[in-house]
Amino acid sequence: MLTDTILATSIEFLKGVGPERAVLLQKELGIRTYEDLLYHFPFRYVDKTSIHKIGELNERMPFCQMIGKIGKVSLIGKGTAKRLIAQFSDDTGTIEFIWFKGIPWMQKIIHPGLEFLVFGKPSEFKGKLNIVHPEMESVTKEVNLSGKSVLQPVYPSTEKLKTKGLDSKGIAKLQRTLLEKLGEHIHEVLPEKIVRQLKMTSRTKALHEIHFPASMDNQKASENRLKFEELLFVQLKLLRQHNIRNLQIKGHVFEKVGHYVNSFYKEHMPFELTNAQKRVIKEIRQDVRSGKQMNRLLQGDVGSGKTIVALMAMLIALDNGMEACMMAPTEILATQHYHSITKFTEELNIPVKLLTGSTKKSVRREIEAGLAAGNLPIVIGTHALLENWVSFPNLGIVIIDEQHRFGVAQRSTMWQKNKIPPHVLVMTATPIPRTLAMTLYGDLDISVIDELPPGRKDIVTRHVFETKRLEVFGFIRKEIEKGRQVYVVYPLIEESETLDYNNLMEGYVAIEREFPKPKYHVSIVHGRMPAADKEYEMQRFKKGETNILVSTTVIEVGVDVPNASIMVIESAEKFGLSQLHQLRGRVGRGANQSYCILMTGYKLSEDAKIRMETMVRTNNGFEISEVDLRLRGPGDLAGTQQSGMLDLKIANLITDQRILTAARHIALEILNDDSTLSKPENQVLLDQLNHLYAGSTDWSIIS
């Protein structure tokens, strides 16, 4: 195809580039080919027609453009406090520009008397207006590259590129040259029908107007078209991989629902399942008897009752003569699961063992022997389950709790434990919007428990400054008088472990002083304690023998003490949103009104303020994870998984969820109609998939 060969041309050969700039473009921006340059999009457009007068600026205005002259330039402060300050005036007023970085470079450029076109966000400091790190363009060199368009693209560039003339304008010039060269040769990669159906801008027009839009409306339409295209191919890729896996990987067939499931359901079920729990159990049952291997992600907010669903799934495996195991990220959580699962399995006479890093040799031997003899149907544990000696003769299902701590690699280790891979159920309490989850965890089907067991009271959350600690203690005292229990959690950040440890110990001492023996009992749990001591303290708290549990985040996930009604989080600003939500989820598990108290200092970053406000505003895990995603981006969430997947050029998985959902929908429609993309009208899709993901998947497998 003509375009493809042109697009693959090395950037060196584009007029105006040459060998030296080519090396720099690759090094600084990763641009190697014509195509890379074409997909180096502007991050903003400057409307040359709107210039603000300095006199009319105020700190509530967004990014503004102004023209004026540099006045006095001064360098003040030392070391990290060093900054460059310049006065900038037009005939209506003066504003101050400030640079903290790139000072030597700016000093070369700005001199008193020079005229500049400036772009920046006005803010106020001590009653004076200023702009930090404004973008400066000298007015004398000003040429309107965009011809008739008044909108000029602003491209990401770097200092090194700027010294070689490749500032935003230099890059715009290259884009012009490239677009002229490509002409009408940019071909459509979507079937005509879809372009028509969705009334989309053509690809040629979109790629032109994303760089040089005739209007902001055209820009938006082009941007949306390119985002849709990008996400559609991501979805097509995911769905096809999914189909391939379903066709290729056989799973154990669990036809029966037998003794264990029935007697548990009829005789031992402690409560009525919620409709959401019932629906998910049904989804799991359908998977495990389909002949395909189940790979399912179960999303459910903290306290939504995932454990009982996991138990049911395991019992189905047992009813079909196979074993089950359950893996949790921490020793405390594994132990907790062990206790909650054995509560049920004891009544059913099912042997269960716990395996963690600190399991004794003798018990390990029992586990090994039990598994070998085929009379140990359930093992619950930590990563220790992945050790080589742990060998299940008939592993039917693996439950993995808290998805975000385990990667794909660990999941596949569990697969390899058997010739036919076990079914896999991954559970997470950090729920994210469904389509996003499908994209981030493309290899998993998704189930959602979107309903809490009845009778739960919303936890009341308060944000309190540390200076109010005595009042908080007073409140705690009252709750303890009512018979309730309290968690006090301190952050643990690895880099300053000793410091955190000291904070924790200081806090512990202060609380013991405030809540003295013998009237009160305070216990402490932290990472430096031996596992047995941790477990001992946890059990004491669980049994109600201690009133207050002071701890680090070791209790973050999964711990279940229904009588605990207050969660105090110290230095709450140091925690991420999902962590705060997890911690809060430790209370509100019983019938009592529960409280979460977020203690912080006065000085809070904007992010931290949003986190506190969000926690106070809502108890809904989905809402919280949306805010969290906006603050942090999805990269963190997905960890190492799907890393390539997230390498998106224009779409944003968080802010473009509507487009993402539409793309998913269309991709499904296309594949339902033509699963191998072998119809003539879908040839363009297949070509583009091969172009985008060359070498990553063998599409021929399923055709």
Among 118, 151, 200, 308, binds ligand ADP (CB under 6 A): 308
Of 26-34, 355-363, 409-417, 553-561: span binding Mg ion (CB under 5 A) = 553-561
Q: How far is the CB of 557 from ligand ADP (least distance, A)?
A: 8
Check residue 158 and report its DSSP letter. -
Among 274, 320, 582, 642, binds ligand ADP (CB under 6 A): 274
Q: How far is the CB of 298 from ligand ADP (least distance, A)?
A: 9
In the three-class reduction of DSSP (H, G, I as helix; E, B as strand; rest coil), residue 556 is classed as coil
In the three-class reduction of DSSP (H, G, I as helix; E, B as strand; rest coil), residue 381 is classed as strand
Give the C-alpha distances (Å, rounded to integers) separating 697 from 238, 244, 412, 441, 690.
11, 10, 18, 17, 9
Q: How far is the CB of 418 from ligand ADP (least distance, A)?
A: 26
Which is closer to ligand ADP, CB of 198 or CB of 273?
A: 273
271 near ligand ADP (CB under 6 A): yes
Question: What would the x/- binding string for ligand ADP be over residues 414 to 433, using CB under 6 A?
Answer: ---------------x----
457 near ligand ADP (CB under 6 A): no
Which is closer to Mg ion, CB of 333 or CB of 436?
A: 333
Q: How far is the CB of 585 from Mg ion (least distance, A)?
A: 9
Alpha helices (runs of H) in 200-274, residue ranges in sequence order: 203-209, 216-248, 259-263
CA neighbor of 178 nearest in space, from 211, 226, 214, 141: 211
Of 185-193, 202-210, 267-275, 617-625: span binding ligand ADP (CB under 6 A) = 267-275
CB 135 within 8 A of CB 105: no
Give the C-alpha distances (Å, rounded to integers) separating 617 from 325, 587, 632.
38, 17, 19
Residues in binding contact with ligand ADP, number by CB under 6 A: 16
CA distance 346 to 174: 72
Q: How far is the CB of 585 from ligand ADP (least distance, A)?
A: 6
Of 45-53, 273-281, 503-511, 664-672: span binding ligand ADP (CB under 6 A) = 273-281
Q: How far is the CB of 53 from ligand ADP (least distance, A)?
A: 57
403 near ligand ADP (CB under 6 A): no
Q: 625 — phi, psi (to 5°)?
A: -70, -25
CA neighbor of 430 nearest in space, from 577, 244, 631, 266: 577
306 near ligand ADP (CB under 6 A): yes
Which is closer to ligand ADP, CB of 136 or CB of 557?
A: 557
**Three-state secondary structure string covering 597-656:** EEEECCCCCHHHHHHHHHHHHCCCHHHHHHHHHHHHCHHHHHCCCCHHHHCCCCCCCCCC
Give the C-alpha distances (Å, rounded to integers) separating 80 from 51, 77, 100, 102.
34, 8, 8, 12
Which is closer to Mg ion, CB of 307 or CB of 571?
A: 307
Which is closer to Mg ion, CB of 422 or CB of 558?
A: 558
Residues 6+ apart with CB under 8 A from 691: 4
CA distance 342 to 348: 9
Which tokens in the block code for residue 473? 């203690």
Helices 683-692/216-248 angle, 10° precision: 90
Q: How far is the CB of 558 from Mg ion (least distance, A)?
A: 4
Among 305, 329, 491, 507, binds ligand ADP (CB under 6 A): 305
Which 39-78 positions form the footprint of ligand ADP (CB under 6 A)? Answer: none
Which 597-656 positions form the footprint of ligand ADP (CB under 6 A)? Answer: none
Q: How far is the CB of 106 from ligand ADP (least distance, A)?
A: 53
Among 222, 293, 295, 307, binds ligand ADP (CB under 6 A): 307
431 near Mg ion (CB under 5 A): no
Residues 6+ apart with CB under 8 A from 582: 302, 429, 430, 556, 557
453 near ligand ADP (CB under 6 A): yes
682 near ligand ADP (CB under 6 A): no
72: left (phi over 0), alpha (psi -120 to 50) or beta: beta
CA distance 296 to 444: 5
Among 300, 329, 377, 507, binds ligand ADP (CB under 6 A): 300
303 near Mg ion (CB under 5 A): no
Which is closer to ligand ADP, CB of 25 or CB of 449?
A: 449
Among 558, 585, 621, 634, binds Mg ion (CB under 5 A): 558
273 near ligand ADP (CB under 6 A): yes
Which residue's beta carbon is nearest to the bound ligand ADP?
A: 305
CA distance 169 to 552: 52
Which is closer to ligand ADP, CB of 304 or CB of 551?
A: 304
CA distance 593 to 457: 6
Of 120-128, 299-307, 440-448, 663-671: span binding ligand ADP (CB under 6 A) = 299-307
Following CA atoms 132, 133, 139, 143 in sequence, which dihedral angle do they give, to the nearest 10 degrees? -130
Among 211, 589, 611, 664, binds ligand ADP (CB under 6 A): 589
Q: Which does 302 bind (CB under 5 to 8 A by kind): Mg ion, ligand ADP, none?
A: ligand ADP
CB 120 within 8 A of CB 134: yes
Which tokens in the block code for residue 160? 């090194």
Which tokens in the block code for residue 30? 């990763």
Which is closer to Mg ion, CB of 500 or CB of 556?
A: 556
Which is closer to ligand ADP, CB of 129 or CB of 273?
A: 273
| Binding residues vs Mg ion (CB under 5 A) | 558
| Binding residues vs ligand ADP (CB under 6 A) | 271, 273-274, 277, 300, 302-308, 429, 453, 560, 589
